[in-house]
Amino acid sequence: MIKVGIIGGTGYVGAELIRLLMSHKKVEIAAISSVSFKGQNLSEIYPSFYKLTNLICSEEDDVIDKSDVIFAALPHGLSEHIAKKILSKGKICIDMGADFRLSDESIYKKWYGKNFDIPELHGKEVYGLPELNKEKIKKSKLVANPGCYATSIELALLPLLSMNLIEPTGIIADSKSGTTGAGRNLSQSSHFTDCNESLSAYKIASHRHTPEIEEVLSSISSEKVKLIFTPHLLPINRGILSTIYVTPKDKIDLEELHKEYSTYYDNKPFVKILPLGEASKINNIKLSNYCHISLHYDEENNKLILISCLDNMVKGAAGQGIQNMNIVLGFDEAEGLDFVPPAF
């Protein structure tokens, strides 16, 4: 059995990693760490684990020593030094944060307010979007797990940009996410009375997933990609719905485009292209590692509308991290993740 550790095991992403990994048949959780809850049993923090695991929160060095694969489930700015320690021991690091998502240090500094701490590590990472980089991920020991919003938008646009079918600028992505996307630490916007029975935009024209999306999509396009991205907070626990508006370079045959999308994702088990006439919905992917994409065409205005839905805690975070782990270790990428979403 492969031994897996989680640094930052008591945040929402860390807890979701534990939940999913406990059902994985080829790995076992060796250790978890937490600064805030060191020495405590996981079930004291999340009672849903009561009598299901005896994991005790320890220190990060203990996690690294006991594990073959380590997930760093931490806020940005904290993973570089941890990744260096992991790689120095010949082990595998999957960073769930943002420290390795951007290749350009100047762009990272612009959006995250700091330089790379260990520049020599950058360039060794692989961006962990399996539907784009599976072959590179297989050979990597440092995987940068994508952002949740970024995953929903990139998966929707990859086929169009790879086939050069749309204008690469003027793309509008309107995304809505459940409150778990803000993390476990409470903020004013995630207070029940502020978000319940409400819908609000935030970080308008300034969300940090914007440069990530643009860099990834530009890498597969013949031209630089620019988009307008506006996230919104939904009063639900989990899920992302992204509605994306693009301008085709020529008139679109929607049925033919649907076939192209279906072919593009044919061997990619977690992306499902819905039948024409259906629209992607959050409740159909909740608690799963699936992304549902639906295609719609406004012929009068020559606008293609894509609706992409995924669970921000699974395909948008922990599930995709495990998918990357499976690929690195040579397992079936669906191992431990091929469960059916709840019907309601």
Which residues belong to the active site?
148
Q: Give the containing element (helix H, strand E) for 330.
A: none
Structure tokens at 323: 């998918």
Structure tokens at 126: 């692989």
> Can you point out the beta strands (E) in 202-239?
227-233
Nearest to 190 by CA among 233, 229, 240, 239: 233
51 CB neighbour count, 10 Å cutoff:
7
Structure tokens at 198: 């409400």
**Whether 153 contacts 175, CB under 8 Å:** yes
Look up residue 202 and give its amino acid: Y
**Whether 91 contacts 64, CB under 8 Å:** yes
The span from the first CA to the last CA of the chain, in angstroms, equals 35
How far is Cα 97 from Cα 120, in angstroms, rounded to an integer?
Answer: 18
Parallel/antiparallel/unpaired status of strands 303-310 and 240-246: antiparallel
How far is Cα 343 from Cα 272, in angstroms, rounded to an integer?
Answer: 16
Cα 286 to Cα 26, 112, 128, 281, 311: the distances in Å are: 24, 30, 21, 9, 5
